[in-house]
A = this chain, B = another copy of it.
Amino acid sequence: MRKKPVIRQRREVARSRLFRIEALDLTFSNGVETTFERLVPGGFGAVIVAAMPDPETVLLIREYCAGTDRYELALPKGRMETGEDPLEAANRELSEETGFAGRTLSFIKPIALAPGYMSHATNLVLVEDLYPCEAEGDEPEPIEVVSWKMDDIYQLSMRDDCSEARTIAGLYLVRDFLAAREKTNAAQ
């Protein structure tokens, strides 16, 4: 494995309410010096949740997205709060955004947004054995919940209003995770 560049200096170059931008002065193992910028998230990381009311169906939400200025279909997600682990955060976000929580939770993996210039990780969690559990969120308007068949992930992913990389990656990963689990169970 290649030797990582050395971070000679790290400094904050801009900050807003939500975002912090750092500049890193780097020396690569071949001697080349350069400066990269990266976004540093506040808080404790985030979760993205694939909640399945039955083995063929996943819950999506339709929500206004300020970045793209339109309503998007996506998996529920949100920031983790103080003291929460990813599974607790997944159930809380799920109950706030869909009115359900789950009894069986599986941590799939941390997903990165843009490893080149963002240090954010979003923890993908699969939630099964759902039960009704409503909680108050901080959304400015009620969120619409949409059930989607796992067999139709490709059709969903090619829609204009389903553009988010983490949602598309998360759905495919969960589908393959379930297939691998079923294979293991069948072999036992």
Contacts and interface: CB of A to CB of B under 8 A. Distances in A.
A123 to B, nearest CB: 11
Contacts of A133: none
A112 B141 CA distance: 23
Interface of A: 1-2, 4-5, 7, 13-19, 21, 23-24, 26, 28-30, 32, 34, 36-39, 62-72, 74, 109-122, 140-141, 144, 154, 157-158, 163-166, 168-170, 172-173, 176, 180
Contact of A165 (B24, B111, B180): B111
Contacts of A113: 113-114, 164-165
Contacts of A34: 140
Contacts of A117: 18, 66-67
Given A38-B66, A141-B28, A115 B173 contact: no
7 contacts: A19-B37, A19-B39, A24-B66, A67-B120, A115-B164, A158-B173, A165-B165
Given A17-B13, A154-B173, A176-B154, A5 B163 contact: no
A114 B67 contact: yes
A137 to B, nearest CB: 13
Contact of A37 (B17, B122, B158): B17
Contacts of A16: 13-14, 21, 23, 37
Contacts of A165: 111-113, 122, 165-166, 168-170
User: Which of A1, A23, A38, A140 is the most central at the interface, judged by chain B CB atoms within 10 Å of its CB?
Assistant: A140
